[in-house]
A and B are shown apart, each in its own frame.
Chain A
């Protein structure tokens, strides 16, 4: 890595940290601006230019007027971190051996130069960064894919994202329901027999790689019992096995978090108060303990939701699902630079969006946080 590139990364990280010292008013302006910008980009990709511009302006105005400070701070952080993400990823890709044009067919220097000019992939990483950003901001395009001829990255990811979101949502609901049930049940009876059983059960969920879970389920229910289709995408029956496979590790993790959260909450003074005033145990648990017990689960759900909804390469490969997870891997292995950057951008935007949702949910669940300035 050259000195100027390293310097740029250090400057980027410092600027990212520096965002935290912006005064409240500047944060409000920047946050609203950046929020509007990102929603403009997303809406333009979805509905076209006029509707996108309208959405962007509306959201910026709403945020500037009514946005809570925590939300605005996160949004201020979002755009610099996306820029840094694109830059660092570009550097990583350029310094990895191989290039998108290094294939089995050896091309001459002139042909390669023409290809590089056509796809907007010059030899220098910094130049590429400039071209990519200009294309992203001016045209709102994630760029052409080199390996999938004649397609842009948004044309590849566009149909894949809804598939992954559908599957991810279903898996997330399954995981939350199963994990919370198991975890709260165990947390109410620490050190008991059923607590140990649920500890072991959740450890099992975390100990099996998903391709083992998936193939065992497939062998049992599709090849053995013939209840469900082996693979494919379309109806509800195709959804069952992949969503269980996807959900199991998450369910196990949620069960652990819910267990320790429940144990901690049950020792709080307000639980004693609730019992002292004569509430039945079910009301104590459902109305008072549950809220506190799911706090750690909620903060885990943010990044988990982003991860689960951008798809899993393993599950998609096993069950033949046209989701987004495959593009993470195919992009990196093919050195298809725009695909890599596109997936990384979608992922990072989703992570921020879900972390925002978590912040809001936290404030709603925990009054102590709401009252803080």
Chain B
């Protein structure tokens, strides 16, 4: 693997630096990264900067098409739709981020422990994951939401927990597969010979080595989670103001007489653009971390 000759010329041989270089050569991934950053900044800063108001209703201006005053038009209660879409984006992005972090935390620890100890521990732990895969996930999410239902609507924490709890399974599988081969490597043996305990080996030596793969899957988990949240909104179990909720409201007023296209187009366009960028970015990251795929 290590090439002695090019050591002087190449700036860094750390895997993360190499992956970053490869990623920045991928034009599609660069654009996607840009879109994600711009979208995040727009959703977080613009509403405050432009004093947009997502809550005040104007009964006289119901269902106004986009105009100079209301860029994205107004909704059925006369609220400014641009403000609602941007503020909704904050919620959707936050859900994606927090639920993904939950799932990374659980999945990495679970997978690392199962893979590191191997044998019977691994067998039992992975059987449990198989078993969890057998439970219809939508139904699991609904049950968890119901368990928190006293405080569910408006309180994002149960949504985060529910989505994270459902999505950690794949992460655990991926990490476990990596750790199974990592634990046979010399540096793990060396760490053990130097007297490191199991916990230290897992946290200091195993986990940092799977972070590349984990980053890839985390990037791909964010869109999955955002889509799941939008399904919850469709069921009426989601968060108060998110892209998913706006889209499902818009779908609810589709009728053959009057079609308020902006209600559907803007939130679903923003949603699709963000998720599309995250998916493309995840693909780019995968190619960058594991270059075998693009020989």
Contact = CB atoms under 8 A, between A and B. Distances in A.
Interface of A: 13-14, 16-21, 77, 81, 84-85, 88-89, 92-93, 95-98, 190-191, 196, 199-200, 203-204, 206-209, 211-212, 215-216, 218-219, 223, 230, 256, 260, 263-264, 267, 303, 307, 310, 313-314, 317-318, 328-329, 331-333, 335, 340, 343-344, 347-348, 351-352
A81 B133 CA distance: 11
B283 to A, nearest CB: 6
Given A17-B123, A215-B251, A218-B254, A204 B131 contact: no
Nearest to B134: A348
Interface string B269-291: 00111111001100100000000
Contacts of A211: 230-231, 234, 247-248, 251
A10 to B, nearest CB: 10
B264 interface: yes
Contact of B295 (A13, A203, A204, A267): A267
B106 to A, nearest CB: 16
Interface string B110-133: 000000000010011101101101
Contacts of A215: 251, 254, 264
Interface in B192-242: 223, 227, 230-231, 234-235
B146 A98 contact: yes
A212 B247 contact: yes
Contacts of B142: 329, 332-333
A17 B127 contact: yes
Contacts of B146: 96-98, 332-333, 335
A250 B231 CA distance: 16
A348 B135 contact: yes
Interface of B: 28, 120, 123-125, 127-128, 130-131, 133-136, 138-140, 142-143, 146-147, 149-150, 223, 227, 230-231, 234-235, 244, 247-248, 251, 254, 256, 259, 264, 268, 271-276, 279-280, 283, 292-295
18 contacts: A13-B124, A21-B120, A84-B131, A85-B134, A89-B135, A96-B146, A97-B146, A190-B294, A206-B223, A215-B251, A219-B254, A223-B256, A303-B133, A310-B136, A329-B138, A332-B139, A333-B235, A351-B133
A62 B139 CA distance: 36
8 nearest A-B residue pairs (beta carbon): A17-B124, A207-B275, A203-B279, A332-B142, A96-B146, A207-B276, A348-B134, A17-B127
Given A97-B149, A344-B136, A13 B248 contact: no
Contacts of A267: 295
B138 A313 contact: yes
B131 A16 contact: yes
A186 to B, nearest CB: 11
A17 B120 contact: yes
Contacts of A348: 134-135
A266 to B, nearest CB: 9
B130 to A, nearest CB: 8
Nearest to A307: B136
Given A14-B124, A17-B124, A84-B131, A212 B264 contact: yes
A207 B139 CA distance: 22
Contacts of A219: 254, 259
B56 to A, nearest CB: 27
Contact of B131 (A85, A191, A196, A199): A85
A17 B128 contact: yes
Contacts of A332: 139, 142-143, 146
A332 B143 CA distance: 7
A263 B293 contact: yes
B28 A199 contact: yes
Nearest to A310: B136
Contacts of B123: 17, 20
Contacts of B149: 96-98
Contacts of B130: 77, 81
Contact of A199 (B128, B248, B274, B283): B283
B128 A13 contact: yes
Contact of B147 (A97, A317, A333): A97
Contacts of A207: 223, 227, 271-276, 279
A344 to B, nearest CB: 6
Max chain A CB contacts within 10 Å: which of B271, B272, B274?
Answer: B272
A260 B287 CA distance: 10
Nearest to A13: B128
A16 B272 contact: no
Given A13-B124, A17-B123, A20-B123, A329 B147 contact: no
B276 A200 contact: yes
B195 to A, nearest CB: 31
Given A219-B254, A263-B294, A344-B135, A204 B276 contact: yes
Contacts of A13: 124, 127-128, 131
Nearest to B149: A97
Contacts of A307: 136
Contacts of A333: 142, 146, 235
A155 B293 CA distance: 50
Given A88-B135, A218-B254, 15 more contacts: A16-B124, A17-B123, A84-B131, A97-B146, A97-B147, A199-B280, A204-B276, A208-B275, A219-B254, A230-B256, A267-B295, A303-B133, A307-B136, A329-B138, A333-B146
B276 A203 contact: yes
Contacts of B273: 207
Contacts of A335: 146
A209 B244 contact: yes
Nearest to B295: A267
Contacts of A97: 146-147, 149-150
A207 B150 CA distance: 31
Contacts of A77: 127, 130
A200 B28 contact: yes
Nearest to B237: A333
Contact of B28 (A21, A88, A196): A196
B262 to A, nearest CB: 13
Contacts of A81: 130-131, 134
